[in-house]
Chain A
Amino acid sequence: MRPIREVLRERTVEWMAIPGVVGTAVGEAEGRPCIKVLVARRTGELAARFPADVEGHRVVVEETGDFRAL
């Protein structure tokens, strides 16, 4: 299994281009590192565009809203 950061780096550019995606990150799910795709608003259609896992690393779509400089 390739390191999660390496896998994430490769996919980020492609995923960030999808409308509604505001970010990607390394997070944790069930005690293990996972890939998180951050979306402004989570819809079934948007979430369906991402695989459940990439090269053994779980992918979770998380709604965060938009980010702004505060």
Chain B
Amino acid sequence: MQWSRFRTGLFLTLLALALALLVLPAAAPTASAAEPPGLQKAMQAQERHTARLMALPDVVGTAVGLDAQGQPAVKVLTARGGVAGIPANLEGVPVEVEVTGLFFAIPGRPAGKKPPPLPAVDPTSRFDDPVPIGVSTGNEFSWSAGTIGCKVFAIVEETVECYALSNVHVFDPWHYGVSSEGNPNAVERGERMVQPGRIDDPADDGGVATEDNILGKIVGSVPIDFSGEATNYVDAAIAIVPTADYEGVGDCRTLGNSTPIDGYGTPEWADWEHTVCADVGQAVQKYGRSTGLTKGEVSLVNVTVEVGYDVGTAVFVGQILIDGRKFLKPGDSGSLVVTDPGKSPVGLLFAGNTRGSLGIANPIGLVLAAFQVSIDGTPPAGE
């Protein structure tokens, strides 16, 4: 490279000379308009001494340029002023120090390109301690899966009890919270919830649920009335999970209060007296077992709607309808709906149309009031 540069330089010099002779026959043969005299010499000096100069601490580069007097000079680029060991000239070529600071590669991004996506998380998988919210869950006896909506808590006789919140049709798919003579519901039977839901465990052999997957005990539910005359307000149930005060059941993983890394994070705290009202037009988001993080908009409120279940149709009143492309799929039931971007809890998702573009959620205040619990989340803005 050194040799070819010399030859290129020599060629250019000769070309310049030739041009100069054509244009200015009276000009001295060593002068040229294209290249200052001594530039070649400077380049050679730079090349011969660069390795030695770069070895000096705080020297970040060398170059050839013109000094203050307009003469070709070797430039030594330094990270700071006052670097020792730099000569005043090299083989007769003046040396000029230029303090540039350190150089860094700047990770540029072409205009219009999005940053790389976060690593994808599979919400149907089994999660280690602490278990995030928005992931797969189910009843220990049911070949199905829904979503852990969020972590809720209550203070019971001076201890804090924590629960996983989801739908009753996720935690009690046989009885929907309904209790009758000789046919108790999941709470009365002491049934437990698993994470992931059994249909999401590839190692599940169809027998008894894997003990390692048991996360909590179902302790509360609101029964659904399918009589057609009645009105339902919530499709909700809670399962108590281990905490410092409560040993829990199963493998004793605790429940965290945040979604996986590719979700919206941690919802805001809320209780039944402090919730954000869902207004038409409010932008919302959810994280669920089937479709992960999706976004939509509240399009209808005060919704009275017939919802189909395996065992019949139930009418719900006072519901919230969310409109969003591919907002939800089967398995997303139980997801917490929060505002976007504020993350204020707004509703508990439990149903949708077959296309998955419309979701129905219970107003979160009614859900929290049913169990007298608060959502474990960040303090709301302004508090």
Check if A24 sits within 8 Å of B306, measured CB to CB: no
Within the complex, the shortest CB–CB distance from A14 to chain B, in Å, comes to 12
Residues of A contacting B302 in the complex (Cβ-Cβ under 8 angstroms): 5, 8, 25-26
User: A61 within 8 Å of B by Cβ?
Assistant: no
- From B280, B315, B321, B333, A69 is in contact (CB under 8 Å) with B333
State whether A23 and B304 are in contact (beta carbons under 8 Å apart), knowing that A69-B167, A70-B332 are contacts in the complex: yes
User: A56 within 8 Å of B by Cβ?
Assistant: no
> Chain A 15-46 against B: per-residue CB contact (8 Å), 1 yes, 0 no?
01000001111111000010010100000000
Residues of A contacting B332 in the complex (Cβ-Cβ under 8 angstroms): 70
Q: Which A residues between 1 and 20 are near B, CB-CB below 8 angstroms?
A: 5, 8, 12, 16
> Chain B 297-310 against A: per-residue CB contact (8 Å), 1 yes, 0 no?
00111111111110
User: B227 within 8 Å of A by Cβ?
Assistant: no
Residues of B contacting A22 in the complex (Cβ-Cβ under 8 angstroms): 305-306
- From B301, B331, B358, A64 is in contact (CB under 8 Å) with B358
Check if A27 sits within 8 Å of B299, measured CB to CB: yes
Q: Given the complex of chains A and B, what is the CA–CA distance between A6 and B98 in angstroms?
A: 79
Within the complex, the shortest CB–CB distance from B168 to chain A, in Å, comes to 10
User: B235 within 8 Å of A by Cβ?
Assistant: yes
Q: Given the complex of chains A and B, what is the CA–CA distance between A67 and B304 in angstroms?
A: 12
- From A12, A23, A28, A70, B280 is in contact (CB under 8 Å) with A28
* A33: nearest chain-B partner, CB-CB: B280
Check if B167 sits within 8 Å of A65, measured CB to CB: no
User: A68 within 8 Å of B by Cβ?
Assistant: yes
* Residues of chain A having any CB pair with chain B under 8 Å: 5, 8, 12, 16, 22-28, 33, 36, 38, 64-70
Could you write out 19 A-B pairs with CB less than 8 Å apart?
A16-B304, A16-B306, A24-B304, A25-B303, A26-B301, A38-B300, A38-B305, A67-B305, A67-B307, A67-B358, A68-B351, A68-B354, A69-B307, A69-B308, A69-B309, A69-B333, A70-B330, A70-B331, A70-B351
* Residues of chain B having any CB pair with chain A under 8 Å: 167, 169, 235, 280-281, 299-309, 315, 321, 328-333, 349-355, 358, 360
